């Protein structure tokens, strides 16, 4: 059985104070992309995890493993599974690849093991695994609050192309948030323009509302990301932004074909760019 795990971007990320549990209060508009990892599940004795990426561990450090163990301990007794993970989402890139894989694991093993757990039960488990996992369990477009675990579905985004500019390094969220905490001045970002643009199906308004409170901290840590965003904006996209804690930058275009043209142009300039598009329907499984 195969389940897809879709990448996400943050169309807006407003960051508030640090909480006693170490997380920050956030308000963010999340959007899934067609870019996805694949997970294949088979019945087996015990738990086994294989990955095609050397960057991804195959044990307790992996969110897929942690999701499988959590679901098994709470609901599945001694059931087992072999899980094969095929990565397309870059690691530590601000695209929630690990969270998407964990959410896909909850969905896939719920089916494989015949548990028939409802979405609310799975969402409770997802919240224990990480801030983005509850959103990745559903999608494709939502407003998230708290540390990201309070998810409110929004109207699907209008059709749009997305250009992703990737980097040969990752940024851990803890690094970006720690640097953000050192900044003396913080913008108070408003998610309402993007929420309104989604309701109206207005891709231009959506692009105008893009904002990320972590972006100045990411640029301060890695000036080359600022320069790559400048080149992405100059390529003619409707708007561009660092996704989450970075380092990936995305740009929006009016349609997927335009995204392919922009990505090809950026690759000719030496940037690692690819084209994808908004995901506009809920989970396949």
Element (H, E) at 239: strand 239-242
Active site residue 132: yes
Q: How far, in Å, CA of 268 to CA of 259, rounded? A: 14
DSSP 126: H
**CB contact at 8 A, 57 and 3:** no
Query: Catalytic: which of 37, 87, 132, 229?
Result: 132
Largest CA distance in the chain: 55
In order, the DSSP letters of 80-105 are -EEEEEE--SPTTSSS-HHHHHHHHH
User: Which residues, in sequence order, are CB contacts of 91 under 8 Å at separation 6+?
Assistant: 53, 55, 56, 97, 98, 170
Name the active-site residue from 8, 87, 229, 279: 8
- Cα end-to-end distance, the chain, whole Å: 10
Tell me if residue 8 is catalytic: yes
Query: Over the Cα atoms of the chain, what is R_g?
Result: 18
DSSP-derived 3-state class of residue 219: helix
For 43, residues 6+ apart whose C-beta sits below 8 A from its C-beta are 79, 80, 81, 82, 112
- Distance CA(40)–CA(82), nearest Å, equals 8
Active site residues: 8, 132
């Amino acid at each position: 059985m195969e389940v897809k795990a879709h990448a996400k971007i943050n169309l807006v990320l407003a960051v508030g104070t640090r909480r006693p549990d170490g997380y920050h209060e956030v308000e963010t508009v999340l959007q899934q992309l067609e870019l996805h990892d694949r997970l294949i599940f088979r019945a087996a004795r015990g738990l086994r995890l294989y990955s095609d990426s050397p960057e991804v561990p195959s044990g307790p450090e992996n969110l897929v493993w942690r999701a499988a163990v959590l679901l098994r301990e709470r609901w599945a007794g001694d059931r087992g599974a072999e899980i094969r993970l095929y990565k397309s989402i870059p690691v530590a890139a601000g695209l929630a690849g690990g969270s998407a894989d964990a959410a896909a694991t909850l969905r896939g093993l719920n089916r494989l093991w015949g548990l028939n757990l409802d979405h609310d039960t799975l969402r409770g488990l997802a919240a224990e695994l990480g801030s983005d996992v509850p959103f990745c369990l559903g999608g494709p477009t939502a407003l998230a609050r708290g540390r990201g675990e309070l998810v409110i579905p929004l109207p699907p985004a209008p059709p749009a192309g997305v250009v992703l500019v990737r980097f040969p390094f990752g940024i851990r969220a803890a690094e970006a948030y720690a640097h953000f905490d050192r900044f003396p001045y913080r913008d108070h970002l408003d998610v309402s323009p993007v929420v309104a643009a989604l309701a109206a199906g207005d891709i231009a308004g959506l692009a105008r509302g893009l904002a990320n409170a972590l972006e100045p901290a990411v640029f301060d840590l890695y000036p080359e990301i600022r320069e790559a965003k400048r080149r992405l904006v100059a390529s003619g996209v409707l708007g561009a932004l660092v996704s989450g804690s970075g380092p990936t930058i995305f740009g929006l275009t009016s349609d997927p074909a335009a995204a392919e043209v922009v990505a090809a142009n950026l690759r000719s300039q030496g940037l690692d760019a690819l084209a994808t598009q908004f995901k506009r329907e809920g989970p396949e499984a």
